[in-house]
Copies of this chain bind each other. A is one copy, B any other.
Amino acid sequence: MKLIKNSAGRFVPDQINGKKQIPFKGVDKHKPTGYKAKPAIKTCIDYPSDGNKIVKSLKDALTKAGLKDGMTISTHHHLRNGDVLTNYLFDTIKQMGVKNIRWFPSASFPCHQHLIKYLEDGTIHHIEGSMNGPLGRFTTEGNMKGVGVLRSHGGRYQSVQDGEVHIDIAVIAAPTADPFGNSNGVTGKSASGLIGFALADSEYADNVIVVTDNLVPFPCVPWQIQGNNVDYVVQIDSLGDSSKIVSGTTEITKSPDRLLIAEYVAQFIDEAGIMKDGFSFQAGSGGTNLAFVLFLKERMKAKGVKARFVRGGSTKYLVQLLEEGLTDYILDGQTFDLEGVRSMRENPNHVNTSPFTSYNFHGKGNFASIVDTAVLGATEVDVNFNANVVSHSDGYLLHGIGGWQNCLYSKCTILAIPSFRDRIPVILDDVTTLCGPGELVDVIITERGIAINPKRKDLLAKLKKSSLPIKPIKEIRDEVNDICGGAPQKPKVNKNKVVAVVKWIDGTLLDSVFQVEK
């Protein structure tokens, strides 16, 4: 493995896990060539004509799917921190004596700490997907056999569609399914909303196993996953605890500082002229981003403005907008609470989307760039508006990318962040890990000041007379450094040991995460 400096000035490996890589070439600079992945042609002759694909156990399904060493197995995070199936899946794989699995989750959560023993004993070779919390810590300390690969939700779809990642077996947790394999996430005791993160897997994996704790007679309606793409259906007692889809990142903030940020965001969107009839917005997860919705709502009501659509991750706050007639649609990629699940089940204007529709950069356009404004979080930003969302300033990889990179394409991308956390400044000279190139970040809003990207002269002009504390970003940085006693120390890392890489939405390598030396 050789490190190459990419166009963002970041050092990335020329290959990962034995596969050649393309370094990041700049925003909108890499044009793909070639063709999409081509799954084998199947025939109804090989499937039960009565449509009953039920097999007696997950082990049985894995055996029929030809599970063997070195395969790629995918799972999905619709149940978020309430997921039980993935741990059970790897218990089963371990029991079957199979090794060196590439685990390809759409995201992992702290509940998957259980899998560390399988990373240690060689059952799992490496993870391609977010490594939140404990798995991230394990990886950052150099304990994972292979190199982790972090992708956005759109990048995950792109990688499967383009044939970069070939999935041998997809295991889809389905809160409701029929024996044919039609499945959804809106009904059943484990209802967690939509299950669109499994779409690419269902379309392209060699073997697709649907696991459900709520089997209904054919047809399971709606079918968010189509049985025509499914090989086996397995019934188990419980997929997990859907109440745990609500987590720290999906509850509204109570912090006065963060509420102030949220208020600034709403005021900014209003004064920038974005908040007008027929507009659209997306709020990422995280307490501040949720809170701004409440402030924006008040402004919308006061001015009689109605949105055409809002993007979820949906929460009860977005559902209220829909139910009060303040938006025509919620276009939802993931329900963040049970009110979101209920609304998606009951309201035809609460529409489920997938990473294909919303985020895939290798399609004929996607939804992300149509959105008027996206309000997102970040772990760090820098004076060039570059942003980090996966690691902390201590070098530890603790979060996934989610749809964050994809959402940067909105017409006005706002990062709403506290200026410091635990007395560590959030605005740096250089982010620890580059996840979002500064040219796609339009505004940074902190409790201490608002910085508009100098590229956005239009916004600077529109906000000229605003009462908002708009300042050059370096001024905010200096102020925060003064409060915190200087910029954070650079982490001590082993520059020869890449533990994970961050892919850009086009499949190129944007940055590396290095082993932290304890």
With an 8 A cutoff between CB atoms, is A485 at the interface? no
Known interface pairs A39-B35, A329-B221; A369-B162 also in contact (CB < 8 Å): no
Which B residues are in CB contact (< 8 Å) with A461? none
C-alpha gap A53/B370 in the complex (Å): 12
Q: Are B228 and A360 in contact (CB under 8 A)?
A: yes
Which B residues are in CB contact (< 8 Å) with A44? 361-366, 369, 409
With an 8 A cutoff between CB atoms, is A489 at the interface? no
The 6 A-B pairs of least Cβ separation, nearest first, read A47-B365, A35-B38, A51-B370, A38-B38, A49-B369, A228-B363
C-alpha gap A504/B299 in the complex (Å): 62
Q: Are B370 and A180 in contact (CB under 8 A)?
A: yes
- Of B226, B331, B360, B369, which one neighbours A219 at CB under 8 angstroms? B331
Identify which of residues 345-374 in chain A touch chain B, using a CB-to-CB cut-off of 8 Å. Answer: 348-349, 351, 356-357, 360-367, 369-370
Q: Are B357 and A226 in contact (CB under 8 A)?
A: yes
Known interface pairs A36-B39, A329-B221, A370-B50; A365-B180 also in contact (CB < 8 Å): yes
Q: List 9 A-B contacts (CB under 8 A).
A: A35-B39, A42-B364, A50-B370, A51-B370, A53-B365, A219-B329, A219-B367, A221-B349, A228-B357
Q: Are A364 and B47 in contact (CB under 8 A)?
A: yes
> A37-B38, A221-B329, A228-B363 given. 12 additional CB < 8 A pairs?
A42-B363, A44-B366, A44-B409, A48-B365, A49-B365, A51-B365, A180-B367, A219-B308, A226-B357, A227-B357, A228-B364, A229-B364
Which label, helix, strand, loop or mixed, suits the secondary structure of the A interface? loop
Closest residue to A406 on the B side, CB-wise? B44
Which B residues are in CB contact (< 8 Å) with A367? 51, 180, 219
Which B residues are in CB contact (< 8 Å) with A221? 329, 348-349, 351
Q: Are B218 and A370 in contact (CB under 8 A)?
A: yes
Which B residues are in CB contact (< 8 Å) with A38? 35-38
C-alpha gap A160/B366 in the complex (Å): 24
Question: What does the 1/0 interface line of A305-321 toward B look like (CB < 8 Å)?
Answer: 00011000000000000
Closest residue to A178 on the B side, CB-wise? B370
CB distance from A17 to the nearest CB of B (A): 22
Known interface pairs A219-B329, A308-B217, A370-B51; A228-B365 also in contact (CB < 8 Å): yes
Which B residues are in CB contact (< 8 Å) with A386? none
Q: Are B51 and A369 in contact (CB under 8 A)?
A: yes
Q: Are A219 and B351 in contact (CB under 8 A)?
A: yes
C-alpha gap A53/B126 in the complex (Å): 41
Which B residues are in CB contact (< 8 Å) with A361? 43-44
Which B residues are in CB contact (< 8 Å) with A278? 217
Closest residue to A308 on the B side, CB-wise? B217
Binds B, one of A26-34, A90-98, A238-246, A509-517: A26-34
- Of B31, B34, B53, B223, which one neighbours A45 at CB under 8 angstroms? B31
CB distance from A207 to the nearest CB of B (A): 10
Closest residue to A44 on the B side, CB-wise? B361
Known interface pairs A217-B308, A219-B331, A351-B221; A366-B41 also in contact (CB < 8 Å): no
Closest residue to A369 on the B side, CB-wise? B49
With an 8 A cutoff between CB atoms, is A190 at the interface? no
Which B residues are in CB contact (< 8 Å) with A128? none
Q: Are A43 and B32 in contact (CB under 8 A)?
A: yes
Which B residues are in CB contact (< 8 Å) with A39? 35-36
Q: Are A308 and B365 in contact (CB under 8 A)?
A: no
Which B residues are in CB contact (< 8 Å) with A348? 221-222, 348
Which B residues are in CB contact (< 8 Å) with A351? 219, 221-222
CB distance from A369 to the nearest CB of B (A): 4
Which B residues are in CB contact (< 8 Å) with A349? 221
CB distance from A28 to the nearest CB of B (A): 5
Q: Are B51 and A362 in contact (CB under 8 A)?
A: no
Q: Are A364 and B230 in contact (CB under 8 A)?
A: yes
Which B residues are in CB contact (< 8 Å) with A40? 34-36
Q: Are A219 and B50 in contact (CB under 8 A)?
A: no
Identify which of residues 50-71 in chain A touch chain B, using a CB-to-CB cut-off of 8 Å. Answer: 50-51, 53
With an 8 A cutoff between CB atoms, is A393 at the interface? no
Closest residue to A31 on the B side, CB-wise? B43
Q: Are A43 and B308 in contact (CB under 8 A)?
A: no
With an 8 A cutoff between CB atoms, is A506 at the interface? yes
C-alpha gap A349/B37 in the complex (Å): 34
C-alpha gap A398/B45 in the complex (Å): 31
